Structure 1
Amino acid sequence: MEVATTRVPRWFVRRDIDGLFGLALDNFIQILLIVSLCQTVLGFPAELVYGRILPGVAISLIVGNFYYARLAKEQGKREQRDDITALPYGINTVSLFAYIFLVMLPVKLAAIAGGSSGEQAAELAWQAGLVACFGSGLIEFAGAGIGDRLRRLAPRAALLSTLGGIAITFIAIGFLFRTFANPVVGLVPLGVILVTYFGRVRFGIPGGLLAVILGIALAWGTGLVSWDHAKFAATLQPIKFYLPSLWLGELWNSRSVFLEYFSIILPMGLFNLVGSIQNLESAEAAGDNYPAAPCLAVNGIGTLAAAICGSCFPTTIYIGHPGWKALGARIGYSVLNGIIMGLLCLTGTVAMLAYFVPVEAGMAIVLWIGIVIVAQSFTATPSHHAPAVVVGLLPGIAGWGALIAKNALRAAGLGTVEKPFTPSLIEQFKLSDTYIDGAFALEQGFIFSAMILAGITVYIIERKFRYAAYWSIIAAMISWVGLMHSYRWTVADTVVNFGAGTGTPWAIGYLLLAILFFYVDWQERRKN
């Protein structure tokens, strides 16, 4: 008689080290961006960054990473599985840039124009960021109750292809460029990652750890990174323990920001909600089915905790669960990430670590994650839905292309008060047969448009034309209020143009599309 063995997930396995390097590197990059942009773009003093913002970041990362690790442990016990992987979690990159450039910077510039000192303007900008972050958390938390319903309504190809579009552009291509910009340093770690996880070769130590060690050695050995006593001394100055504080009074004093910048806060909150739902779908496709409501609720709670404790930057369930699972990470990588990131933020040691460990040393792991996500978009959906996956990839690629085009314009000296971006640029692009206005339209709300266009394509393939029409009507409604496609010009960017009727041309186009689908559905019913 056979005795059934109980499979219980362990808190730590060997491959959690590999997952830790990928997730910690991703979080570490976000933290470096926060420090850099807050000090250079916003002019925040070091005490504000290290004494208020980073402790809030620490609390939010600890809350989320610990919760998702515990949830994975409990889920594994219930399902009698020891191969379950905790949901990856960290700072939301899109919101980070949006809140700095579209909320905090305008508030700072307006304060200075009104006669405030630089220090006063920085304080007001920080408070505005707190309100924006808090508003995003409220939207994420309130949306937790409809998460499962949205997952049931949206075809898997619609959810996964949206993530694939983000992965192939904003994750993979950037690090691929960086690899070939420094091939002597970048190619060997990439090779280690590929032969370890595609070729299933074992080196005696985790492949992720070996890749990072080789990357550090090559970066310092080739001179990509070199010793500079003055720079190193500067990294030691912020080091001390920072105790998190509650900033409820500052949130209340700046509450008017919520309405003033609602057109930014609402889309960001919705994007975070939809993105987290898509990442839950991605996790289920990889074999780990988590309940949507508590996962989304804690995601919102993490963002709320960030704002209350001083951070201006929302958190989210990260893209890339299939990659962490393929690496062999289970539960411990999430716990370790929360501990390590928390200590870095609470002790001010971020700058010193960045000095010794260049991004080139660990970027191969993140590139691998991007590859796995794109591959899953095709392998975890029915093969006949492949055209829908391709359609879903296109808006993300277009959004990335628009970003690159605007970066090129800024590098050429445009995007200043003297030489601002203007609609005349569109005609200049058209001279080379580049309809850049279409890319700008796809860039805004591309998470929504990718999911909707892929969903429409799925229902066309399945010959459910009425459902395709319903999705087109939803697209028309979202477009009409400016949540996707509609944009406006700023000095150095094109940004979402939220408001009733701002996306009327696209709304009309989607309504005409819905009429077409209703007509086709009627014709098919007549034939049958």
Structure 2
Amino acid sequence: MSASPSVSGRPRWFVAGDFNGFFGLVVDNLSILGFIAMALVGIFQFPADVVFGRMFPGTAFGVLVGNVLYTWMARRLAARTGRDDVTAMPLGLDAPTSIGMALLVLGPAFLAFKAQGLAPHDAAIATWQLGMASLVIMGVLKIILSFFGEAVTRALPRASLLGSIAGIAIVLMGFLPLLETLRSPVVGFVTLGLLLYVLVAKRKLPIRAPGVLVAFIFGTVLYYGLGLAGLGAPGFKVPEWTPPQVVLPWPTLGFIEGLPTAMTYLPLLLPFGLLMVVGGINVSESARAAGDDYRTRDILLVEAVATLVAGLCGGVAQTTPYIGQPAYKHMGARSGYTLLTGLFVGIGGMLGVISGLVQWLPLAVLAPIIVYVAIDITTQAFQATPREHAGAMVLGFLPSVAYLLAIKAPGWIAPEQLVAMTTTLDGHGLPELAVIFTLGNGFIITSMLWIAAVVAMIDGKLLRASGILLVAAALTLFGLIHSVDPRGGIYLPWALEGLPKLISWQFTGAYVGLAALLALLSLQKSDHDQRS
């Protein structure tokens, strides 16, 4: 694409394509905020005032900070190169980890706090502080990793990094929102079908408008039209109007209260932060290929700072540079679209406008968008990895299935029966439900290690596979994966007693045994040696 210098010699603040880019980026952020609200309020019965009045303003402020800095970076690059076609890096809330925070951390933590005897509002405040602490931890981690990000990606195969997040996508981001979609079948299925038509089949609509916008509007009109006509799904009601409330996201030390609980979620938080660093490296390379040579470390540092600022100001969902920078360039967007998005989401979050929009978007309309995101993430994982590594990635999906069952089991089984099913030995090995919980705890790291080990086997690097399995054994001992703590917390192995100790050592021994076997197999001649 040729450069088009502005008349004044300086890049223009806004061009026509910026407004197309602005709308697309805003819809992405609104859909993720909407799902966070849907998951917490709709699924976990979280108090709405805490979500909209405490969590959203700080979360939106992180989007403002990141997009303003990316706008400045784009204008600096344009001034340095003398070009007027530089497109800013888009920044927004990360879909997989934001949804993961809602479904895997915040929601279960809220239920756990209530089970400890806290009133719903007090449990919600404790969960909010946990969310803040989680974001601060991930922000600090990403600042550190921004200097070593490329080394991290070299240490793990692409299948390991993409396959672990694909497992979350298809099992948790795909299945759970699909259930919400089909609770209002007509609206949900029609909206999902429309999204698949424009985004997967890539077919054109008879009107010139972004497909996601059309799906939003059509699904919302259908939802309220059928509901008001008495033809909607059971439980339809028009949301109560909540007057906009001005909430300034001032920095707070409330995250300190949440740090002890957040430490028990490190097996989830560490991969979340790592994946954002990997994603930042990938999108930087993508922008470079499109003609905008941003320094990878700068892209990562800005995103890390935005996440850290959001956490310090009450946010609970981390930001990320979006992978679609070349797509926004093709729309004609330059640097104005990120500035507009940051101001709209950030100021709208402070004034309550964003919360108002999210409250009026039906769950049956928001959930299908997340289902599409799950499909897209999983598809990209297979497309971006060697075909011979596909089996390794599929294996990595299974710990996510265990975590899904662990999430749902308490709602299906009475508490006293649940305890019995996880502690009673029947002479046929470890209790099945205990195995499910143990496999599910730390499932993201488990998936990454399983995939990395199998990829090493496929590539004939048996000693490398053996080393990965020994790392898994060490992590198992301390509960970073396969924690026998019901909350998934970490511990010292010598502090365990009874059945938990037995389960922990059995899982550890399994890894050590397979590692030893692979090390022995590495001593035999390879197929290449035998042929020669």
Normalising by the smaller structure, the TM-score range is: 0.7 to 0.9
Alpha-carbon distance, 1:156 to partner: 1.0
Alpha-carbon distance, 1:500 to partner: 2.4
Match of 1:468 among 465, 468, 476: 465
Alpha-carbon distance, 1:266 to partner: 3.4
CA 1:337 to 1:514, structure 2 compared with 1: closer, same or farther past 3 Å? farther
* Counterparts of residues 100-249 of structure 1 (less than 5 Å): 100=106, 130-203=132-205, 204-223=208-227, 234-237=240-243, 239-248=244-253
Is 1:27 matched up with 2:33?
A: yes
Match of 1:264 in 2: 264
Q: State the SS of the aligned residue for 1:137.
A: helix
Alpha-carbon distance, 1:483 to partner: 1.0
Q: State the SS of the aligned residue for 1:223.
A: helix
Match of 1:92 in 2: 98
How many residues align structurally?
A: 493
CA displacement, residues 401-454 of structure 1 (integer Å, 9 cap, x when unaligned): 332334433xxxx34xxx4841525769999x9933333222211111111111
Counterparts of 1:151 and 1:61, CA distance in 2:
26
Alpha-carbon distance, 1:267 to partner: 3.2
Query: For structure 1, which runs of at least 5 residues remain unmatched after alignment?
Result: 490-494
Counterparts of 1:438 and 1:315, CA distance in 2:
31
CA displacement, residues 336-390 of structure 1 (integer Å, 9 cap, x when unaligned): 5534432442122455324532132344333222212111121111222221222
Is 1:315 matched up with 2:307?
A: no
Match of 1:386 among 384, 390, 393: 390
Counterparts of 2:75 and 2:508, CA distance in 1:
46
Match of 2:455 in 1: 458
AA in 1 matched with 2:271 = F
CA RMSD across the alignment: 4.4
CA 1:294 to 1:82, structure 2 compared with 1: closer, same or farther past 3 Å? closer
* C-alpha contact (below 8 Å) 1:88/1:334 kept by paired residues: no
AA in 1 matched with 2:471 = I
Counterparts of 1:427 and 1:269, CA distance in 2:
32
Counterparts of 2:53 and 2:410, CA distance in 1:
34
Alpha-carbon distance, 1:242 to partner: 2.2
AA in 2 matched with 1:366 = I
Greater mean alpha carbon deviation, residues 346-355 or residues 103-112: 103-112
Q: State the SS of the aligned residue for 2:463.
A: helix
AA in 2 matched with 1:402 = A
Alpha-carbon distance, 1:292 to partner: 5.7
Counterparts of 1:461 and 1:84, CA distance in 2:
40
* C-alpha contact (below 8 Å) 2:470/2:515 kept by paired residues: yes
Match of 1:497 among 443, 465, 489: 489
AA in 1 matched with 2:273 = L
* C-alpha contact (below 8 Å) 2:149/2:278 kept by paired residues: no
Counterparts of 2:323 and 2:182, CA distance in 1:
26
* C-alpha contact (below 8 Å) 2:182/2:364 kept by paired residues: no
Alpha-carbon distance, 1:506 to partner: 2.4
Q: State the SS of the aligned residue for 2:368.
A: helix
* C-alpha contact (below 8 Å) 1:179/1:186 kept by paired residues: yes
Greater mean alpha carbon deviation, residues 63-72 or residues 190-199: 63-72
Counterparts of 2:122 and 2:431, CA distance in 1:
44
Is 1:274 matched up with 2:274?
A: yes
AA in 1 matched with 2:174 = A
Greater mean alpha carbon deviation, residues 167-176 or residues 444-453: 167-176
TM-score normalised by the chain length of structure 1: 0.76
AA in 1 matched with 2:90 = A
Counterparts of 2:431 and 2:116, CA distance in 1:
35
Counterparts of 1:264 and 1:6, CA distance in 2:
51
AA in 2 matched with 1:464 = K
TM-score normalised by the chain length of structure 2: 0.76
Match of 2:305 in 1: 301
Counterparts of 2:177 and 2:354, CA distance in 1:
21
CA 1:470 to 1:181, structure 2 compared with 1: closer, same or farther past 3 Å? same
Alpha-carbon distance, 1:170 to partner: 1.9
Is 1:437 matched up with 2:434?
A: yes
Q: Matched residues, percent identical?
A: 24
Alpha-carbon distance, 1:461 to partner: 1.0
AA in 2 matched with 1:461 = I
AA in 2 matched with 1:276 = M
CA 1:69 to 1:128, structure 2 compared with 1: closer, same or farther past 3 Å? same
Alpha-carbon distance, 1:247 to partner: 2.1
Counterparts of 1:439 and 1:75, CA distance in 2:
51
Counterparts of 1:110 and 1:82, CA distance in 2:
53
Counterparts of 1:15 and 1:122, CA distance in 2:
35
CA 1:70 to 1:370, structure 2 compared with 1: closer, same or farther past 3 Å? farther
Counterparts of 1:85 and 1:18, CA distance in 2:
14
* C-alpha contact (below 8 Å) 1:282/1:322 kept by paired residues: no
Q: State the SS of the aligned residue for 2:403.
A: helix
Match of 2:501 in 1: none
Counterparts of 1:124 and 1:233, CA distance in 2:
27
Counterparts of 1:177 and 1:97, CA distance in 2:
14
Match of 1:358 in 2: 362
Alpha-carbon distance, 1:124 to partner: 6.8
* C-alpha contact (below 8 Å) 1:280/1:292 kept by paired residues: yes
Alpha-carbon distance, 1:168 to partner: 0.9
Counterparts of 2:159 and 2:20, CA distance in 1:
33
Counterparts of 2:150 and 2:123, CA distance in 1:
42
Is 1:478 matched up with 2:475?
A: yes
Counterparts of 1:382 and 1:348, CA distance in 2:
46
CA displacement, residues 141-189 of structure 1 (integer Å, 9 cap, x when unaligned): 3333332111011111111111211111222223333344433212333
CA 1:141 to 1:264, structure 2 compared with 1: closer, same or farther past 3 Å? farther
* C-alpha contact (below 8 Å) 1:137/1:314 kept by paired residues: no
